[in-house]
Structure formats: structure tokens, C-alpha cells
Amino acid sequence: MRLDKFLCDALGVTRREATQILKSKTVTVNEVMVKSGATKVTDECVVEWQDRELKVHGPRYIMLYKPEGFVCSHEDGSNRTAFELLDEVKQDKLHFAGRLDVDTTGLVLITDDGQWSHRITSPKHKCAKTYRVWLVDPVEADYVEKFKQGIQLKSETGLTLPAELEVRAEREVLLTIYEGKYHQVKRMFAALGNKVEHLHREMIGEIEMDESLELGEYRYLTEEEVQSVWK
């Protein structure tokens, strides 16, 4: 591949912009500064721009540890977007495979593979999402059974799908749901007369939040994690 074409694909720039980048003497191939866009590069070449290694990505699958105060969208008039936490090119091609509220923390999956994210978000696939929930009031004795039967949400015509509730402490539970209605976890507890104090997503399907990540950090999914969505 020509170097200028490589820069276009890796940085999401035009051919003219790639030429200007090369003229700035900030691109190296195998640690040698290169100015010619006609230079051929292969998969074995290490291309760097401003001391950052560039790659032409295939489909991208990213795990983000979302902090509070960030929204899962490209634009928001009031809050910062979680895309600000990514050091990635062509962010306009990426989307969230299941969003979290601005005040909710934890696992967020980001991709540019629409079919893959559909397996996570489509109600018909019933992809499990597990949350750690801290409540204002103590857990009542009948909560486990009520979640198993389904909860009647306000303004909804039917019950939610059966959910699994595990009591961890007086005001702390693990909740696994198999759908993704608007503000569903908060609304489920509100329907029982309780209120969610804090919400943290720990797992989507078989993909678990990487405990080595700090708030605001991200990493690419392993091949095993990516493929688990298709099971």
C-alpha cells in the first residue's frame, strides 16, 4: 500500500491532508523519516506519526470503564461524551453497543461493527447485562421472587422479562436483566417503591469488566471476548 493511502485510512484524512502531514516531517517508517506518499508500506512496517504508531484497523471492539458525568453519545449539550476518553481515529464510525446513563459507571462496549452490536442490543437475542446496584432502602424479602416473575413498569403494557437478583448486602444487589428498556434498572426498583443510589455495570453477555482498568481507561477486546457475542 502507498504510504499516503495508509495515512488516509489510519487517520481518516484526505489525500491532500496526508501529503501535508508527510511534508511536516513527522512520519516515520521503521524509524526513518519519510516524506514521499509513494513509499510502499507492508504489514511488517512500523509507521509512526508524532511518535504514535499508526494502524489500519479492521472492525474495532473496545471495552471502556465509564466514569460518572459522561454520556454515551457523540454529542450532548450539557455533559461530556464518553468518546472524549478514547484516543482513536475515525470516532464518527464508532457507536455504543448498549448505553449507560450519565450517572452510571462500568462496562461500556464500543464498536464499528453493526451486526455485532445488534447481537447485544436486540431484544430478541436476550443478551444478559449484570449490574451492581446500591439502594436507598433495604432489600425486601420478596424482591428475588418479584424480579424472577417480572416487574410491571410505569407506562409499560407488560411485565419485564424474568430477571435474576442476588442479594449481597442490606442495600446492595447484583441484578441480571435480559433486555434494555429505557432506564430499566432504576424503573424496576422504583416500581417496588425503592430508589437506586448508584448503578455499576459489571458484565455484558460473557464479557466482564476488566478490573485492571482505571475509571476512564479502555482496551481492545480479546478475540475470545469478541466471539463470545455470537454464541
Residues recognised as catalytic? 101
Dist CA 64 CA 86 (whole Å): 9
User: How deeply is 90 buried, as exposed, middle or buried, from its count of CB atoms within 10 A (0-12, 13-18, 19+)?
Assistant: middle
| DSSP run (H or E) holding 111 | strand 105-111
Dist CA 33 CA 31 (whole Å): 7
Type of residue found at 200 = H
Dist CA 143 CA 222 (whole Å): 36
Taking alpha carbons only, the member of 3, 95, 106, 9 closest to residue 58 is 9
